[in-house]
Amino acid sequence: MDVRFAPSEFFSVSAKKGKALSVWALTGGAILFISVTVIVAVLLIPKRQIFNKQNKIEGSLVVFSFRYLRSVTRNFSERLGKGSFGSVYKGMLPDATLVAVKKLDGLSQGEKQFRAEVSTIGTVQHVNLIRLLGFCSEQSTTMLVYEYMPNGSVDRSIFGSTPVELRWNVRFQIALGIAKGLAYLHEECRSRIIH
Protein backbone atom coordinates (compact mmCIF):
# COMPACT_ATOMS: atom_id res chain seq x y z
CA MET A 1 0.00 0.00 0.00
CA ASP A 2 1.39 3.38 -1.06
CA VAL A 3 0.59 6.43 0.98
CA ARG A 4 1.25 9.81 -0.48
CA PHE A 5 1.37 13.07 1.41
CA ALA A 6 1.11 16.57 0.02
CA PRO A 7 4.15 18.82 0.73
CA SER A 8 1.93 21.18 2.68
CA GLU A 9 1.27 18.44 5.19
CA PHE A 10 4.97 18.34 6.19
CA PHE A 11 5.18 22.00 7.23
CA SER A 12 2.81 23.41 9.71
CA VAL A 13 1.70 27.03 9.69
CA SER A 14 4.02 27.92 12.62
CA ALA A 15 7.05 26.51 10.76
CA LYS A 16 6.23 28.71 7.78
CA LYS A 17 6.05 31.79 10.04
CA GLY A 18 9.40 30.87 11.60
CA LYS A 19 10.97 30.47 8.17
CA ALA A 20 9.62 33.83 6.99
CA LEU A 21 10.89 35.44 10.20
CA SER A 22 14.38 33.96 9.58
CA VAL A 23 14.42 35.27 6.02
CA TRP A 24 13.41 38.76 7.20
CA ALA A 25 16.01 38.67 9.98
CA LEU A 26 18.78 37.67 7.56
CA THR A 27 17.71 40.32 5.05
CA GLY A 28 17.54 42.99 7.77
CA GLY A 29 20.96 41.94 9.12
CA ALA A 30 22.51 42.12 5.64
CA ILE A 31 21.00 45.58 5.03
CA LEU A 32 22.24 46.77 8.44
CA PHE A 33 25.75 45.42 7.74
CA ILE A 34 25.92 47.09 4.33
CA SER A 35 24.63 50.38 5.78
CA VAL A 36 27.21 50.40 8.56
CA THR A 37 29.98 49.55 6.09
CA VAL A 38 28.96 52.40 3.78
CA ILE A 39 28.74 54.89 6.68
CA VAL A 40 32.18 53.90 7.99
CA ALA A 41 33.67 54.15 4.48
CA VAL A 42 32.13 57.60 3.96
CA LEU A 43 33.50 58.83 7.28
CA LEU A 44 37.01 57.43 6.77
CA ILE A 45 37.61 58.27 3.10
CA PRO A 46 37.79 62.07 3.54
CA LYS A 47 40.42 61.66 6.29
CA ARG A 48 42.50 59.41 4.06
CA GLN A 49 42.22 61.87 1.19
CA ILE A 50 43.79 64.60 3.36
CA PHE A 51 46.88 62.40 3.75
CA ASN A 52 46.85 60.91 0.26
CA LYS A 53 46.11 64.08 -1.69
CA GLN A 54 49.08 63.67 -3.95
CA ASN A 55 49.43 63.62 -7.71
CA LYS A 56 52.15 61.82 -9.63
CA ILE A 57 53.85 63.87 -12.34
CA GLU A 58 56.82 63.38 -14.62
CA GLY A 59 57.75 59.86 -13.65
CA SER A 60 57.74 59.32 -9.94
CA LEU A 61 57.60 62.87 -8.50
CA VAL A 62 54.72 63.65 -6.17
CA VAL A 63 52.95 66.99 -5.82
CA PHE A 64 52.29 67.51 -2.11
CA SER A 65 49.89 70.04 -0.64
CA PHE A 66 51.10 72.53 1.95
CA ARG A 67 48.54 71.21 4.42
CA TYR A 68 49.84 67.66 3.97
CA LEU A 69 53.50 68.65 4.45
CA ARG A 70 52.62 70.71 7.51
CA SER A 71 50.95 67.60 8.93
CA VAL A 72 53.81 65.15 8.20
CA THR A 73 56.40 67.58 9.65
CA ARG A 74 54.23 68.20 12.74
CA ASN A 75 53.89 71.88 11.84
CA PHE A 76 57.57 72.13 10.86
CA SER A 77 58.63 71.41 14.44
CA GLU A 78 61.92 69.52 13.93
CA ARG A 79 64.40 71.61 11.98
CA LEU A 80 67.35 69.65 10.63
CA GLY A 81 69.29 72.62 9.33
CA LYS A 82 69.27 75.89 7.46
CA GLY A 83 70.98 76.66 4.18
CA SER A 84 71.20 79.63 1.85
CA PHE A 85 67.86 78.77 0.20
CA GLY A 86 65.83 77.87 3.30
CA SER A 87 65.30 75.57 6.24
CA VAL A 88 65.03 71.77 6.17
CA TYR A 89 62.56 69.92 8.41
CA LYS A 90 62.17 66.26 9.28
CA GLY A 91 58.89 64.59 8.42
CA MET A 92 57.29 61.16 8.43
CA LEU A 93 54.84 59.98 5.79
CA PRO A 94 51.89 57.77 6.84
CA ASP A 95 53.77 54.67 5.61
CA ALA A 96 56.57 55.54 8.13
CA THR A 97 58.95 56.80 5.42
CA LEU A 98 61.18 59.56 6.78
CA VAL A 99 61.59 62.61 4.56
CA ALA A 100 63.45 65.92 4.59
CA VAL A 101 61.25 68.87 3.63
CA LYS A 102 63.10 71.97 2.43
CA LYS A 103 61.10 75.22 2.63
CA LEU A 104 62.57 77.47 -0.03
CA ASP A 105 62.90 81.17 0.81
CA GLY A 106 63.00 84.05 -1.63
CA LEU A 107 62.61 82.24 -4.93
CA SER A 108 61.86 84.74 -7.65
CA GLN A 109 61.18 82.34 -10.52
CA GLY A 110 57.72 81.66 -11.83
CA GLU A 111 55.57 78.61 -11.17
CA LYS A 112 56.13 77.17 -14.64
CA GLN A 113 59.92 77.49 -14.44
CA PHE A 114 59.97 76.02 -10.92
CA ARG A 115 57.97 72.98 -12.04
CA ALA A 116 60.20 72.50 -15.10
CA GLU A 117 63.37 72.55 -12.98
CA VAL A 118 61.86 70.25 -10.37
CA SER A 119 60.76 67.87 -13.10
CA THR A 120 64.32 67.76 -14.49
CA ILE A 121 65.89 67.22 -11.07
CA GLY A 122 63.30 64.56 -10.24
CA THR A 123 64.46 62.33 -13.09
CA VAL A 124 68.01 62.18 -11.71
CA GLN A 125 68.75 58.99 -9.81
CA HIS A 126 72.20 57.95 -8.71
CA VAL A 127 73.49 56.06 -5.68
CA ASN A 128 75.61 59.06 -4.61
CA LEU A 129 72.83 61.66 -4.93
CA ILE A 130 69.89 62.31 -2.63
CA ARG A 131 66.64 61.52 -4.39
CA LEU A 132 63.96 64.17 -4.82
CA LEU A 133 60.60 62.58 -3.97
CA GLY A 134 58.30 65.51 -4.69
CA PHE A 135 57.50 69.16 -4.17
CA CYS A 136 54.89 71.68 -3.07
CA SER A 137 54.11 74.88 -4.89
CA GLU A 138 51.10 76.68 -3.44
CA GLN A 139 50.67 80.45 -3.59
CA SER A 140 54.02 81.86 -2.47
CA THR A 141 55.20 78.67 -0.72
CA THR A 142 57.63 76.35 -2.47
CA MET A 143 59.05 73.22 -0.85
CA LEU A 144 61.12 70.27 -1.97
CA VAL A 145 60.70 66.81 -0.43
CA TYR A 146 63.83 64.65 -0.36
CA GLU A 147 64.63 61.23 0.99
CA TYR A 148 65.88 61.49 4.57
CA MET A 149 69.59 61.02 5.37
CA PRO A 150 69.78 59.36 8.81
CA ASN A 151 73.48 60.25 9.22
CA GLY A 152 72.89 63.92 8.49
CA SER A 153 74.84 66.13 6.16
CA VAL A 154 78.61 65.89 5.68
CA ASP A 155 78.99 69.63 6.25
CA ARG A 156 77.55 69.25 9.75
CA SER A 157 80.23 66.65 10.53
CA ILE A 158 83.00 68.91 9.23
CA PHE A 159 81.85 72.44 10.04
CA GLY A 160 79.26 71.91 12.80
CA SER A 161 79.47 73.23 16.34
CA THR A 162 80.89 69.88 17.44
CA PRO A 163 82.87 68.64 14.41
CA VAL A 164 83.40 64.92 14.08
CA GLU A 165 86.93 63.79 13.37
CA LEU A 166 86.82 61.75 10.20
CA ARG A 167 89.54 59.22 9.43
CA TRP A 168 91.35 59.67 6.12
CA ASN A 169 89.84 56.56 4.56
CA VAL A 170 86.33 57.89 5.42
CA ARG A 171 87.21 61.30 3.96
CA PHE A 172 88.50 59.60 0.82
CA GLN A 173 85.23 57.60 0.44
CA ILE A 174 83.19 60.80 0.90
CA ALA A 175 85.28 62.67 -1.71
CA LEU A 176 85.02 59.72 -4.11
CA GLY A 177 81.24 59.58 -3.68
CA ILE A 178 80.93 63.32 -4.33
CA ALA A 179 83.13 63.02 -7.43
CA LYS A 180 81.01 60.12 -8.76
CA GLY A 181 77.81 62.10 -8.20
CA LEU A 182 79.18 65.18 -9.95
CA ALA A 183 80.57 63.11 -12.82
CA TYR A 184 77.15 61.54 -13.27
CA LEU A 185 75.46 64.97 -13.36
CA HIS A 186 77.97 66.38 -15.86
CA GLU A 187 78.67 63.39 -18.11
CA GLU A 188 76.28 60.45 -17.77
CA CYS A 189 72.87 61.86 -16.85
CA ARG A 190 70.31 62.03 -19.68
CA SER A 191 69.60 65.70 -18.76
CA ARG A 192 73.01 67.21 -18.14
CA ILE A 193 72.98 69.34 -15.00
CA ILE A 194 75.74 71.78 -14.14
CA HIS A 195 76.20 72.04 -10.38
Assign domain 55-188 to its CATH superfamily: Phosphorylase Kinase; domain 1 (3.30.200.20)
User: Backbone dihedral region of 139: left (phi > 0), alpha (psi from -120 to 50 degrees) or beta?
Assistant: left
Question: pTM for this structure?
Answer: 0.63
What would the pLDDT profile of 44-92 be if each residue is shown by its tens digit? 655 444 444 455 554 578 889 999 999 999 999 999 988 778 899 999 9
142: which strand partners? 104, 137
Which helix (H) or strand (E) segment holds residue 26: the answer is helix 13-51
Residue 84 backbone dihedrals phi, psi, to 5 degrees: -70, -20
What would the pLDDT profile of 106-155 be if each residue is shown by its tens digit? 766 677 777 777 777 777 777 777 888 999 988 778 899 999 988 777 77
Q: Please indicate if the annotation marks 103 as binding a ligand.
A: yes
Q: Which of 140, 151, 95, 142 is nearest to 117 (CA)?
A: 142
**Cα 72 to the center of its chain, rounded Å:** 9
| pLDDT range class, residue 10, cuts 50, 70, 90 | low
| pLDDT range class, residue 105, cuts 50, 70, 90 | confident
Extents of the domains making up the chain: 55-188
